[in-house]
């Protein structure tokens, strides 16, 4: 039984799925808090929050499952992935497909119960991640750009889910800014995040023919682009404060986190050492939840 749970966790990439759901749930709570402030709803609807968490988790798990089905033979070649259930032979692709389709339909149905837009975005996310990003990983570094789109959809999905039927009188002009900015922060963040991971795992990725670094190798240009995207992230992360919904504490937190992120990326540019890439990678893991939690705490305090 322990092996079954372990295999299922690897199949759906549990930690990644959890991170996605965390991002969406934070945005949902921000959107709900906006509605409470406008008296559209008396209090946060925790039932809908739970639906978002379960539905979002299932949709993300399904996308990861389809990704592993497509890459089963490639996963056998890499040390990092060869023990996943399908490449290791503990699960057939047919079994994986049945699980993936079931999770995709159930997750989409649940998210569709919140509103149509949320359901449609979840379907778009699955298709783009599994059937565009996945095959592109072996063809071109443009895969990172394509993958960053579904990767940035969770905060947008979460924010839209907070508005239920999305009646026109409930959705104000500021909501378009908030939804767009939440998407943009996570979108830009993914470039240094992905490229730092690709730098660390480049030797393993090459076994499967994956081309995720900007120049396809660990060189100065790849390091420079990683550094530049951390610089771009700083003004993008300050947009919540500039548009008046983030507060100065959030701005300060985002600025400090962004400067640390950029400093580590600058050291990678200067040294181009594996140890520096690992520091950028680990910093990226903490950056996005820290900024999102800051935004949520700011809304709660209002």
Looking at residue 279, its pLDDT comes to 97
Per-residue pLDDT of the chain (302 residues; tens, 9 = 90+): 777 788 788 888 888 888 889 999 999 988 888 877 777 777 888 999 999 999 999 999 999 999 999 999 988 888 888 888 898 888 889 999 999 999 999 999 999 998 888 989 999 999 999 899 989 998 888 999 999 999 999 999 999 898 876 555 566 777 888 889 999 999 999 999 999 999 999 999 888 888 899 998 999 999 999 999 999 999 999 999 988 878 888 899 999 999 999 999 999 999 999 999 999 999 999 999 999 889 888 877 76
Structure tokens at 276: 């520096």
Identify the helix (H) or strand (E) that includes residue 199: helix 173-200
Burial bucket for residue 104 (CB in 10 Å: 0-12, 13-18, 19+): buried
- Alpha-carbon span 12 to 91, nearest angstrom: 13
pTM over 0.75: yes
Structure tokens at 57: 């988790």
Of 92, 296, 93, 84, which is closest to residue 208 (Cα–Cα)? 84
Looking at residue 187, its pLDDT comes to 96
Looking at residue 55, its pLDDT comes to 95
Looking at residue 302, its pLDDT comes to 67
Superfamily of domain 1-171: UbiA prenyltransferase (1.10.357.140)
Chain-centroid distance of CA 175 in Å reads: 21
Looking at residue 244, its pLDDT comes to 80
- Alpha-carbon span 270 to 47, nearest angstrom: 50
Looking at residue 51, its pLDDT comes to 95
- Alpha-carbon span 238 to 137, nearest angstrom: 31
Looking at residue 98, its pLDDT comes to 93
Looking at residue 170, its pLDDT comes to 66
Chain-centroid distance of CA 228 in Å reads: 20
């Amino acid at each position: 039984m322990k092996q079954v749970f372990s295999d299922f966790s690897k199949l759906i990439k549990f930690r990644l799925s959890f991170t996605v759901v965390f991002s969406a749930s934070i945005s949902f709570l921000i959107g709900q808090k906006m509605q409470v402030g406008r008296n559209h709803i008396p209090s946060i609807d925790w039932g809908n929050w739970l639906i978002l968490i379960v539905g979002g988790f299932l949709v993300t798990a399904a996308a990861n499952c389809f990704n592993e089905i497509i890459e089963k033979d490639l996963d056998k070649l890499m040390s990092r992935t060869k023990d996943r259930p399908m490449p290791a032979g503990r699960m057939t692709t047919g079994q994986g497909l049945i699980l993936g389709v079931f999770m995709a339909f159930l997750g989409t149905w649940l998210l569709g119960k919140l509103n149509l837009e949320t359901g449609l975005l979840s379907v778009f996310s699955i298709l783009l991640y599994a059937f565009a990003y996945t095959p592109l990983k072996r063809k071109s570094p443009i895969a990172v750009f394509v993958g960053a789109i579904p990767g940035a959809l969770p905060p947008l999905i979460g924010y839209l889910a907070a508005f239920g039927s999305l009646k026109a009188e409930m959705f104000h002009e500021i909501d378009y800014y908030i939804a767009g900015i939440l998407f943009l922060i996570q979108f830009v963040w993914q470039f240094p995040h992905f490229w730092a991971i690709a730098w660390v795992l480049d030797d393993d990725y090459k076994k499967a023919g994956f081309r995720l670094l900007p120049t396809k190798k660990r060189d100065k240009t790849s390091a420079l682009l990683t550094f530049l995207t951390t610089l771009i992230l700083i003004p993008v992360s300050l947009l919540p404060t500039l548009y008046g919904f983030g507060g100065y504490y959030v701005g300060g937190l985002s600025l400090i986190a962004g400067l640390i992120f950029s400093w580590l990326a600058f050291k990678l540019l200067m040294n181009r050492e594996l140890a520096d890439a690992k520091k950028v990678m680990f910093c990226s893991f903490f950056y996005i939840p820290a900024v999102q939690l800051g935004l949520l705490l700011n809304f709660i305090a209002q």
